[in-house]
Amino acid sequence: MELVRLSVIYVHLLACCIAIGLVFASDVEMVRNLLKGHTNTGQDGKHMASLQRSVANALIFLWLTGAAVVGIDYLDKGMNYFANPKLQAKLIIVLLLTFNGMLLHRYVLPALLKAGSLLELNFSMRMFALFSGALSGVSWLYAAMLGVGRPLAWKYSLTELLLAYPVMILLGFALMAALTQWARKRSEAEPAQMPVWQFAGITS
């Protein structure tokens, strides 16, 4: 049984690494484009659709392998296993991550496909997209930290384990909101800074 558990955990870890890699690479690319003043019109939606499919597949594997690990440990340790605060914290985060992914797919992706760029979304939808993105990125990293943090088991309460979680989400959201607002103002100011002859050539 121990070999089976190790094999399942290995697949679980691979799926987690793939998902975190995809999310991190996408976030780095988005931040780099915002700093450069690129709007990526017509590209953000297509990229996000592909990213969502890949992350969704990884999340499905995580649910399946995670449930298998929980089942194996339950058979070995009994009902007392579910009283582990670390397990409870990880389950809460994964549930939030899954629900957030459904909201991204249902609301943010269609709006992004229609607008063509994050900067072209209206204010409320842009803030919702940024908050969902911050929640997603932080949740993946936080869940991974809890997954590998075996010394955390039974040592801290559920409240203590989740104490930094909302703080990190709000901090990530605030930073991305500020960066997006700066990029939006920069893109709006660029036409006004062009020479008159160049501006006339573009609009003709």
Does residue 48 sit within a domain?
A: yes
Residue 197 lies in a domain: no
- Report CA Rg, the chain: 21
| Number of structural domains in the chain | 1
Looking at residue 76, what is its pLDDT?
A: 85
Mean residue pLDDT of the chain comes to: 81
pLDDT for the residue numbered 163: 93
Return d(Cα 122, Cα 124) in angstroms, integer.
Answer: 6
pLDDT of residue 153: 78
Asked whether residue 202 is domain-assigned, the answer is no
Q: Which domain holds residue 24?
A: 2-188
- Please give the full DSSP string across 46-109, using - where no structure is assigned: HHHHHHHHHHHHHHHHHHHHHHHHHHHHHHHH-GGGGG-HHHHHHHHHHHHHHHHHHHIIIIIH
Residue 196 lies in a domain: no
Q: Report the pLDDT value the prediction gives residue 88, as an integer from 0 to 100.
A: 93
Spatial separation of the C-alpha atoms in residues 122 and 119, rounded to whole Å: 8
Q: Tell me the HSE value of 177 on the side-chain side, using a 13 A CA sphere.
A: 17
pLDDT at residue number 41: 43
At what angle are helices 2-36 and 44-77 packed, to 10 degrees? Answer: 160
Q: For residue 204, is it within any domain? A: no
**Residue 159 resides in a domain:** yes
Q: Please indicate, yes or no, if residue 111 is contained in any of the structural domains.
A: yes
pLDDT of 45: 54
Entry pTM: 0.81
To the nearest 5 percent, what fractions of the chain are helix, strand and coil?
A: 90, 0, 10
Residues of the chain where predicted confidence (pLDDT) is lower than 50: 41-42, 192-204
Condensed to tens digits (0 to 9), the pLDDT of residues 12-67 reads 888 888 888 888 887 787 788 777 765 554 455 566 667 677 778 888 888 999 89
Q: Are the C-beta atoms of 167 and 36 separated by less than 8 Å?
A: no
With respect to residue 113, please indicate whether it lies within any of the assigned structural domains. Answer: yes
